[in-house]
Amino acid sequence: MNEYRSLFDLHGRGALVVGAASGIGQAAAHGLAAHGAHLVCADLDSDGAERTAAGIRAGGGQAQALALDMRDPAAPGLALEAGGTPEVLVVTPAINVRKPIFEIDDEAFDRIVDLNLKGTFRLMRDVGRAMAERGRGSIVVFSSIRAQVVEPGQGVYAATKAGLVQLARAMAAELGHRGVRVNAIAPGVVETPLTAEIQGSGDWYQAYADKAALGRWAKPSELAGAVVFLASDAASYVTGSQLFVDGGWTAVDGRFSPPL
């Protein structure tokens, strides 16, 4: 029984959370720290990263902040230099440009891909290599329901999120024999800075809430459990997977509920 109780224990393990200043990344950092992990809280928003780290320390955990721009090719090296090779890597940041495909110019396309796909890829590649050399590690990247279902105006964003799933699967296949697990989490609609525009529109916000089986949006804290699970020994046989944490969004077919 004691063995099962320790499945989620992360004491003595280092975790690098990129995007830790706010939203899902912040919640993930607090969740991992609550289970004993030592955190490097990285974000472009250095003040926000420090606030997250300070909050963890105030609760008795161990955390340091790191200013990090995922678009910088040197970012993975800076992260490894600051905190060493982590046992856990979590990558959350993304941007979205809500325009029809015909209105997306090359600059906007490159901006979305550079952060969502290329920046995440660099971290997966370089931190994953360091984990493989050590012989253990867990990488968790954030996909989206948009990797599977789309709506007008989100084509490029959806393509990057689908691409992350395939990168995770490929890395899982390549690194499994070297002790490194790689998985993706696909959130539904979550109240974060990325969705601020929708949250500010009553009809739009409610339409999204109604689409989910649970009839509401998620709070960032509701994603932390999935992160802790995939980071921990509770998921020791889980790799190459995409875990949907979407309130049943992708399970519900259509926008009309027939009379039953």
Active site positions, annotated = 157
Q: Residue 39: which of 254, 231, 200, 195 has the closest Cα? A: 231
Residue 190, CB-side half-sphere exposure with 13 Å CA sphere = 27
Q: Is 104 helix (H, G, I), strand (E, B) or coil?
A: coil
Q: Which strands form 137-142's sheet, in the order they lie side by side?
A: 62-67, 38-43, 14-18, 88-91, 137-142, 180-187, 242-245
- The one-character DSSP state at 225 is H
Q: For residue 251, give both structure tokens.
A: 């399970």
- Contact call for residues 258 and 201 (beta carbons, < 8 A): no
The terminus-to-terminus CA distance of the chain in angstroms comes to: 45
Token pair 């997250």 is found at: 52
Residue 6: burial class (beta carbons within 10 Å; 0-12, 13-18, 19+): exposed
